[in-house]
Amino acid sequence: MTNLQIGFSGIVALIVLISAGVPLAFGISLIGIVGISVVMGLQQAGVQLFQVTFITTTDFILTSIPLFILMGQLVAVGQLGRDLYNCVQKWMGWLPGGLAVATVASCAALGAVTGISVAGIGALGPIALPEMRRHGYDSKLAAGSLASASTLAIMIPPSVSFIVYGIWTETSIGQLFIAGIIPGIIMTIVFCAYIVFTSIRDPSRAPRGPSHSLSERMQSVVGVMPVAVVFVGMIGGLYFGWFTPSEGAAVGCSAIALILFLMGRLTWAGIVESVTTSARISIMIFAILIAAQLFSRFIVVTDVQRIMVEHVTGADFNRYVVITLILALYLFLGMILDGFSMMLLTLPFVFPVIRQLGFDAVWFGIVLTLMVEVGLLTPPVGLNCYMLHKIAPEISLGEVFQGVLPFVFLCLGCAALFTAFPEIVLWLPRRAFVY
Amino acid sequence: MKFERAARVIFIAACVIALPAIALLVTGDTILRYFFAWPLAWSQDAVGVALFLLFCAGLPYSWYGDFHVRMDMIYLRLPSVVRMAVDIIGIVAALAFGILLAYRSIISVADAYRHNSWLPSGVIPIWPVQAIGAIFLILFCFAMLDSLRIRWQRRGASAK
């Protein structure tokens, strides 16, 4: 059996194991261990596994993953999401579909201090959903707007998705963070515009909310100041090169903890809940990251990666046809895999193709993250939809999936827009960094 | 059950100690660096150590706590016997990961001790860090064997 045949057999075995439901991290690592053992011996497989584990878990830049997640968890347990929603709702509630618009804007703002999408549903779901239902909102629109808007958290920096992509592809995480700002804002505006348009067309789906006086609005701003200050400080620090993403994450975490302490909202139970949830998610990500790196090494030593990349780039396809096919592949994979696994398993094959075709690594990171967002919404896996159904069981899963469908099309429209006009993504990082 | 409880205690203790320590240490280092031009040379190494130990300490409970994602679209529709077989493959895969990693860790501890290896800052020796990591990884292997035992007992109970 040649190395190439071993490589392809490994890929087939991996698909079988993952499809059957073996936990991703261990299924991937098993193929990596067995594959490297067959090609280079068990001793070498052990050396590779230990190296990958030790290097990954002691990498300073990876500290930003648990810290950004922790920051989001602190914001959630400290009820800062409630203050944020209260403020945005006072300013935007009067719009057609105002409460849904406020939910989208609050999720976007919350995304500015958390790196994962489910934090938005957890923090805002128990507040925004009852409010929208009380005002007679259509449950599909209410559920769709919340589930979809919470995905904005991984587009708006800080984003764990950008960190994982940046580490895997050796792309600057700072550039990715800055590049995510404009697409994140555009998507927020597109989501809000859709809700307003739908509400104007059929006011019974989302009636206008109450209007508030200027003094009430100004008072509500006080509640969001902590989140605003932390976000501006963190992103400003990255933009001006004052600190690295890991330092930004740590400073942001400490600042949020200090603010909650001063507000009297930092309890021991809250701290324990925040740190255990952050560690649980981080360990899951780290395990997949380690397994995927091992698998990637196996793919490289068997030469499968080179052959596949040569085949794709050697064929005389227009590069936009290739990128469309790649995005279609991600749309499909997003339906069956979680975002991190999808990213880590495909990048060894896809990223060299992207670079060979002359696409920008930062731009692709943004578009890939957008496809991860879509994967969080599409059935049958659609993690955000399940999360939302969990906290609001009175809204059926079918209604949630129907509710997110227009937002999925809006996301795909944004992906097409960013592909046609990459400057939308690259303009800001090019101003901040010379590259 | 006792083993699961012990793994949970280790996980929570590691989280409560390591994560706040990492956040405070990096914040302190950042402030000292930018405001006082006095960075802590060992802070990045210490953070790396804390992260490594957090990962290793969290692994034993990760299986019991169902931390690891799986693609359950087909899994949930499988007959119970096949699902059990998939679970056992998963446990064996995790066991292979744990055993190989623990074995290499023990060898690395011996190597690091013999060669007197230190982390880049020269303040933290590597072998004690890897030794503690190896202990947690051995615990992870026991956790997987315990899971295998529980699965096997359930299989016996369902056969009766």
The DSSP letter of residue A23 is: -
What are the structure tokens assigned to A335, written together?
Answer: 């339906």
Q: How many angstroms separate the CA atoms of B73 and A24, rounded?
A: 13
Q: Inter-chain contact B93–A27, Cβ cutoff 8 Å?
A: yes
Q: Inter-chain contact A250–B97, Cβ cutoff 8 Å?
A: no
Q: Is the pLDDT of residue B157 over 70?
A: no
CA distance to partner chain B, nearest, from residue A275 (Å) = 6
CB-CB contact of B29 with B39 (8 Å): yes
3-state secondary structure of A165: helix
Cβ-nearest to B93 among A29, A59, A278:
A29
Contacting residues of B for A253, CB less than 8 Å apart: 23, 27
Handedness of CA B24, B27, B29, B31 (dihedral sign): negative
Contacting residues of A for B16, CB less than 8 Å apart: 271-272, 275
The DSSP letter of residue A335 is: H
Distance, C-alpha A192 to centroid of its chain: 19
Q: How many angstroms separate the CA atoms of A160 and A176, rounded?
A: 11
Q: How many angstroms separate the CA atoms of A204 and A326, rounded?
A: 40
Q: Per-residue pLDDT for chain A (435 aa), expressed as one digit of tens each?
A: 899 999 999 999 999 999 899 999 999 999 999 999 999 999 999 999 999 999 999 999 899 999 999 998 898 888 888 888 889 989 998 899 999 999 999 999 888 888 788 778 888 888 889 889 888 999 999 999 999 999 999 999 989 999 999 999 999 999 999 999 999 999 999 999 999 999 999 998 988 877 888 898 998 888 788 778 888 888 888 778 788 889 999 999 999 999 999 999 999 999 999 999 999 999 999 999 999 999 999 998 998 888 888 888 888 888 999 999 999 999 999 888 888 888 988 999 999 999 999 999 999 999 999 999 999 999 877 888 988 888 888 899 899 999 999 999 999 999 999 999 999 999 999 987 655
What pLDDT, in 10s, does the model give residues A407-419?
999 999 999 999 9
CA distances in angstroms from B132 to A66, A399, B79, B99, listed in the order given: 21, 49, 41, 15
ipTM (interface predicted TM): 0.93
Q: How many angstroms separate the CA atoms of B79 and B75, rounded?
A: 9
Please name the residue of chain B whose CA is at the shortest distance from the CA of residue A74: B20
Helix ranges (DSSP H) in A265-379 = 268-301, 304-314, 319-336, 339-356, 361-375
CA distance to partner chain A, nearest, from residue B67 (Å) = 6
Q: Which secondary structure element, helix H or strand E, spans residue A225, and what is its range?
A: helix A214-239
CB atoms within 10 A of CB A234: 26
Q: How many angstroms separate the CA atoms of B118 and B125, rounded?
A: 4
What are the structure tokens assigned to A385, written together?
Answer: 């939809």
Contacting residues of B for A24, CB less than 8 Å apart: 68-71
Which pTM does this prediction carry? 0.88
Cβ-nearest to B86 among A20, A67, A381:
A20
Q: Inter-chain contact A280–B101, Cβ cutoff 8 Å?
A: no
Q: Rounded mean pLDDT of B135-142?
A: 95
Q: How many angstroms separate the CA atoms of A82 and A39, rounded?
A: 55
Token pair 């000292």 in the structure block, residue: B32
The DSSP letter of residue B37 is: S
